[in-house]
Amino acid sequence: MADKAKSAPQAVKKPAVAKPAAKKDAKPKAAGEAKKKVKLLPAVPESWLKLGKGKKGSRPNLLLQRRKVRAVRLLRRKQNLLRAHNYEKRYLKTERGVVEQARIAKAKGNIYIPAEPKVAFVIRIRGINKVAPKVRKVLQLFRLRQINNGTFIKLNKATKNMLRIAEPYITYGYPTLKSVRHLIYKRGFVKHRHSRIPITDNFVIERKLRGHRLQCVEDMVYHIYTGGACFKKVSNFLWPFKLNTPTGGWRKKNNHYVEGGDFGNREDKINELIQRMV
């Protein structure tokens, strides 16, 4: 009986022997699964995915910026139209004032003498051959380094003497409002970072002259024509005008305008020359 009791537990332990065999069978299955789980290259490069995520994140900010820019443009457009309208009123007021004063003087038997012009437009008509040092320096100060270059100059005692020194090489006169507008709108270029940039929109002016409360082309026209407080800033901001040879050509550059030539003071006749050169 004791032998039977000892053999019974041995029969119970037999199924436990199959465990290591199960472990051996599990290893090849795991290896097979590992072979199936091979990492494939992504269809889209990872750098592109990162860029896409960044754009999605910044899209709301871009939309806000665009709306702000659009709102500023609309506001500036309204402001610029109002400014142009106010400047037109001022021009008409000054013209009517001159006419009324002339009528009053005539009624009293007097002669009305209008105020002297404040601004002149100077054009270089001769080249660099045999130029005296003093004349060369004056032309350099006027920024007239090439033939047919033109600039606006504020008239005072110093500039009048300089015009007299360089007179054989230049012609000048007193531009009208129409001529000033025509030059700036058609041949206007500005100076930005030592480069010549065309005036494509008012923001080109605003980013440079915002500190002087100038934001559109009409502001520049007003300060140039009237010789206003910001004349120097606006004149230096404008690149010297590069004009064409006048249609029909010059008459005689070596003679004064009064003698049938070209150089010297033309007064109001400069406007006719500007129309031919623009």
Tell whether the model's pLDDT for residue 150 goes beyond 90: yes
Average of pLDDT values for 84-96? 94
pLDDT, tens digit (0-9, with 9 covering 90-100), for 132-141: 999 999 999 9
Instruction: Report the percentage of the chain scoring pLDDT > 70.
Output: 85
Asked whether residue 151 carries a pLDDT value surpassing 80, the answer given is yes
* Cα(169)–Cα(253) distance, integer angstroms: 8
Residue among 253, 260, 20 nearest 125 (CA): 253
Give the chain's mean pLDDT.
85
Q: What pLDDT shows up at residue 237?
A: 93
pLDDT at 270: 94
Collect all residues with Cβ–Cβ distance below 8 Å to 203 and sequence separation of at least 6.
76
> 119-277 has which CATH code?
3.30.1390.20
